[in-house]
Structure 1
Amino acid sequence: MRRFVPYIKYLKAIRAQFIGSVLCAALYGIISGFVLNYVLMKKVLPAVFSEGARDMSTWQIAGYAALVPAVFLVRALAAFFNSYLVSLCGVRVLEQVRLDFFQRLQALPLNFFARHTSGDLLSRGLADTNQLQYTLTNVGNEIFKQPATLLFALGALIYEASSTPDAWKMLLCLASVPLAVFPIRYVGKHILRRAQQLQSQLGVVSDRLSENLSATKEIRAFGLEERETNRFRTAVQSLFHVQMKIVKYSSFLSPTIEFISSLGIAGTLVYAYYANIPWTSFLFIVGAIYFAYEPIKKIGAINNDLKRGLSALDRIEEILNAPLEIDDPANPVAVDRLQGRIAFQNVSFAYKTDTHVLKDVTIDLPPGTVCALVGPSGAGKSTFANLVPRFYEVSNGGVTIDGIDLRAMKVADLRRNIALVSQDPVLFNDTIYNNLLLGRAGATREEVEQAAKDAFAHDFILSQPNGYDTMVGERGGKLSGGQKQRVALARAFLRNAPILILDEATSALDSESEAFIQRALQKLVVGKTVLIIAHRFSTIRDASKILVFEEGRIVAHGPHAQLYGTSPLYKTLYDRQQGAGAEVRA
């Protein structure tokens, strides 16, 4: 239970409901452990079946009979309100845990997501939090009721033993109680291990499904339907085997404790026979023993639920406690609109500690520089660009903008001064208008439409069924590649940031769409510091400076005319691509 203590803070806002659930649980325990047994064994049965019962009036009989449903009614109401209030508390706690989980994902660096699959993260955020909610609700529902029932059942035994000669010896039958600890510990140990396997396998199943849904076109193009079905079947079958292991251990516990309970009752029966214990006292004590063993059995089930909840909590806390790496400084430098002078000073960076992707990079880009990054695949171009918005933290050296180290600024202030247009822009499943507003949330309708016009997107947007209010579908699936790219450019126009990063914004487009994009880019880059990650050399003709990357180093920089004559690597890359382009045109 200590593992759940840090989450008690979530109960502050609903402490009245939580206290109410505890009081209802206590009332349920009093009635179940003592009152119910006392009313039946000490009041109703002796009165109704005594020798003088025939002389009682109908009203007297009815009164004794009414005691039974009255007690059960109060017990039922206590159980209902306990269950309802505990569920309310559990759902509230889950709501906060999920929100913390999601907020943490927003703050974690990009390399974290390179180490975790989206399916696994989905499983942690949904399946594991659901398991945690079930644990909190179920355990919370029983954790007060059952100990209270056990306490008052033991109190009933002590009460009867003190008032009936020789009855105290019957308490020796409770010696079988410690035996119930052994199956609880045995099952709990196995449940924890299997629960960890279950949550992990749920992640695998989620990952298989997520991966399949994101690659529907490729699966059909390469005829992978049967392969994917077999992979998913294997994952589901593994999940089934782990689930059945948990069912086996969970189902083993209750019958075992019931058998141990029966040993105690059998011993009580034998002793009561030889000690001539009155039948009313015998039934009262047997009832109390039953009500003492029932909580023990349920506490064993609680233990199993806790193990499963702990397994889910372990996976959730891996995210909640993951180091942020990139965070705001304690005393950030106040930043408004930057001019856009970017400088790298002896910068090295490694995704893994043993392999540097950038090595001792030093470069100074004045404001307004249109800079193209070229080089072989894996040379460090994208990494260089991704360090500017501080998607990653440098391993050595420093990156500055306008002379201010990126680590001295608030992350939000830094990124507000940067616009990004990627090769495959992501649109959210919302209207075109709301997707454009992502560029600048406070923009007016006129500003949004002007940005769309600047990106040559206004006309095609108006041709959509609902114009700017047209839903774009998941990841913008209802729009063509060129249309999505123009919406992304419109967002960049709307943001009007002093720094612009273009990750080959035209590489996957047809010639007509590329012409629109190129015309928009010529206007967009004016007055901005621009980093163009160039995969095609045709896109760098307007660059005022070119950086040539090789194995993580900048091996040459300058304009095209200079580099073509002085950099063998640049000349080779350029001629190879121009030659390939000529062959295609031929």
Structure 2
Amino acid sequence: MKSRSGIQVMAGLIGMIRPLLSKMCLAVLMGCVGNLMATFITVLGAYGLTTLLGLTGGLKLSVIFTLLAVFSVLRGILRYAEQASNHYIAFKLLAEIRHQVFAALRKLAPAKLDGSDKGNLISIITTDIELLEVFYAHTISPIAIAIITSLFMSIFIGRFDVRLGLLAFVFYVIVGAGIPLVNGKLGSALGGQYRKQYGGLNTAVLDNLYGMEEIIQYQAKEKRLKNIEGYTDSLEKVNSRLKSNEAVQRIVTDAVILLAGASMLAVSMNLYWDGTVSFNAVLICTVAMLGSFGPVSALSALSNNLTQTLASGNRVLNLLEEEPVVEDVTDGAAAADGVIAAEHLDFTYSETDGSTRHVFSDFSAEFKPDRIYGILGKSGCGKSTLLKLMMRFYETDGGAITYGGKNVNEINTEALRRHISYVTQETFLFQDTIENNIKVAKADATREEVCAAAKKAAIHEFIESLPNGYDTKLSELGDSLSGGERQRIGIARAFLHDCPVIFLDEPTSNIDSLNESIILKSLHTEKKGKQILLVSHRKSTMAIADTVIEMN
């Protein structure tokens, strides 16, 4: 995973603001005016005190009270408008980021997601993107507001004496930039560690939920609980360290602000004794100094949440910038009928831990129309990988896959996959009706077409036996069905898709012999005008094949 500095992450996230830049500028303007009004409420109080004391340079009390009333009302209105604008921008951008993330996932699938850390991916899609709301609603605008208001207050104080203005500016930089940068540097690794461990916890929870039956059956509850506790304890330790950093940051910030007020008072009093400034300047500059740290102290506090936010932003940017294993061909030829050939294939998997696993070396085979080919072999010999290479989920390291003499890399990828019905080992079922789950293969299919496909897959009678038949709504992930029933729905999809090429990867591994024979008979009936590749480790399934290719 690429690791970016905080500045690089912020630059990447800020780059997404361009479409809403005008609204962001308006929010910054309202925030600046509102914060300056809040600061000058205290400054006006100082002016009122100088007026009551009869010092020169004081304002009329009527003017002061009028300005206080106006500033108080406008401060509330501007604060609301600024926050409303920032949240509007944030939620618009989060919607756009989600759209980009899902577009990236569609581009990366299926090869890049094959066997990936699903819990970590869910964490990126959900909580990581949600955390970016903090950045867009509560970080960008406050940074701009802090810079502008600090410059304005430095100039205001500097009108009494340049040295006082420079002193104020130094303390603004320390509180608004120095403390956040140091705190961010100390906590950046912890923020990234927290987000990574949070994703790991998600994965562990998903594992336990999906494997609940096995956990109960084999009495593995204690072991799995210890696994979860290990993640939560580790997460809590990191969180405690982050909270400790946050407490230290608050103490340091408050101490520096008090030091700034004391320094301003001491320096301005010294200038007063030298006759350089008046006493009202001492009072106004000290009050202005202490009352103007709101925007910069907010930046200092932001650095605590910002460590996690930037870690989340880095993970999201990594996903958006990740390159697919295989780029789709969009301007290629249409899928061609004819012989499908694997010519001198070489292929090696790159594992997530950096290791490699060699699968094919100079492998060749031909698959002609009107025939069923059985691909037989033990687990891990490359049977499923061969189908994935033919689907162009992966690129070959050497050799070629051809359809009717055309290299698969020169065929339009979408057209290629429309040309093939592919039944995988695990059939995914949506939380929808059985009919709609079968119609995934052909959205405009009629009920009659769906029933015909289900009969070929030996699932029609089972569906009809259900109280709501084809309108039966399945539970999440199809858990209300057995493994064999899910497989048969997957096979029904393949029959409904009615493509010239059918790939079946262990399609009957969970199906009893009676229903398997019905399905195999349907395949035999359907083979005219088609090429059917049937992967299995069971020799009995190979009885239907015209040709059997054994793989080692």
TM-score normalised per structure 2:
0.88
Q: Check the 8 A contact 2:458/2:518 in 1, yes or no.
A: yes
Q: Check the 8 A contact 1:156/1:288 in 2, yes or no.
A: no
1:40 to 37, 42, 45: 45
- How many Å separate the matches in 1 of 2:329 and 2:513? 46
Q: Which residue of 2 aligns with 1:398?
A: 400
- How many Å separate the matches in 2 of 1:221 and 1:272? 78
- How many Å separate the matches in 2 of 1:360 and 1:172? 74
SS at structure 2 position matched to 1:116: coil
Q: Which residue of 2 aligns with 1:532?
A: 534
Change (3 A) 1:372 1:65: same
Q: Which residue of 2 aligns with 1:143?
A: 143
- How many Å separate the matches in 1 of 2:435 and 2:332? 34
- In the TM superposition, 1:74-85 aligns within 5 A as 74-85=74-85
SS at structure 2 position matched to 1:144: helix
Change (3 A) 1:48 1:341: farther
Q: Which residue of 2 aligns with 1:128?
A: 128
SS at structure 1 position matched to 2:139: helix
SS at structure 1 position matched to 2:441: coil
- Tell me the CA shift for residue 218 of structure 1: 0.9
Letter in structure 1 aligned against 2:430: F
Residues 1:27 and 2:29 aligned together: no
Q: Check the 8 A contact 1:427/1:484 in 2, yes or no.
A: yes
Residues 1:510 and 2:512 aligned together: yes
- After superposing the two structures, state which structure 1 stretch, 461-470 or 357-366, moved more: 461-470
- Tell me the CA shift for residue 173 of structure 1: 4.5
- How many Å separate the matches in 2 of 1:31 and 1:499? 72
Letter in structure 1 aligned against 2:348: A
- In the TM superposition, 1:542-557 aligns within 5 A as 542-550=544-552
Q: Which residue of 2 aligns with 1:477?
A: 479
Q: Which residue of 2 aligns with 1:345?
A: 343
- After superposing the two structures, state which structure 1 stretch, 92-101 or 222-231, moved more: 92-101
- How many Å separate the matches in 2 of 1:16 and 1:460? 60
- Tell me the CA shift for residue 48 of structure 1: 6.5
Letter in structure 1 aligned against 2:34: Y
Alignment RMSD: 2.7
1:254 to 226, 250, 253: 250
- How many Å separate the matches in 2 of 1:13 and 1:296? 27
- Tell me the CA shift for residue 406 of structure 1: 0.9
- How many Å separate the matches in 1 of 2:452 and 2:517? 19
- How many Å separate the matches in 2 of 1:18 and 1:268? 34
**Which entry has the higher C-alpha Rg, 1 or 2?**
1
Q: Which residue of 2 aligns with 1:460?
A: 462
Q: Check the 8 A contact 1:192/1:311 in 2, yes or no.
A: yes
- How many Å separate the matches in 2 of 1:461 and 1:134? 49
Change (3 A) 1:254 1:486: same
Q: How many residues align?
A: 532
Q: Which residue of 2 aligns with 1:576?
A: none
- Tell me the CA shift for residue 529 of structure 1: 0.5
1:421-476 superposed Cα distances (whole Å, 9 cap, x missing partner): 23432211122122111111233344333323433433432333333232111221
- Tell me the CA shift for residue 500 of structure 1: 0.7
Q: Which residue of 2 aligns with 1:580?
A: none
- Structure 2: unaligned runs, 5 residues or longer: 1-6
1:55-94 superposed Cα distances (whole Å, 9 cap, x missing partner): x9xxx86x85454243122112212111121112122222
Q: Check the 8 A contact 2:157/2:164 in 1, yes or no.
A: no
Q: Which residue of 2 aligns with 1:233?
A: 229
- How many Å separate the matches in 2 of 1:47 and 1:195? 51
Q: Check the 8 A contact 2:341/2:366 in 1, yes or no.
A: yes
Letter in structure 1 aligned against 2:325: E
Q: Check the 8 A contact 1:381/1:549 in 2, yes or no.
A: yes
Residues 1:208 and 2:204 aligned together: yes
1:266 to 256, 262, 266: 262
Q: Check the 8 A contact 1:29/1:152 in 2, yes or no.
A: no
- How many Å separate the matches in 2 of 1:247 and 1:328? 46
- Tell me the CA shift for residue 223 of structure 1: 0.4
Residues 1:315 and 2:288 aligned together: no
Change (3 A) 1:428 1:176: closer
- How many Å separate the matches in 2 of 1:212 and 1:226? 12
- Tell me the CA shift for residue 2 of structure 1: 4.5
2:17 to 5, 11, 15: 11
Q: Check the 8 A contact 2:441/2:494 in 1, yes or no.
A: yes
Letter in structure 2 aligned against 1:186: V
SS at structure 1 position matched to 2:374: strand
SS at structure 2 position matched to 1:460: helix
SS at structure 1 position matched to 2:381: coil
- Structure 1: unaligned runs, 5 residues or longer: 162-166, 551-586
Change (3 A) 1:494 1:114: closer
1:496-522 superposed Cα distances (whole Å, 9 cap, x missing partner): 011111122222223443344334433
Change (3 A) 1:90 1:179: closer
Q: Check the 8 A contact 2:121/2:199 in 1, yes or no.
A: yes
Residues 1:521 and 2:523 aligned together: yes
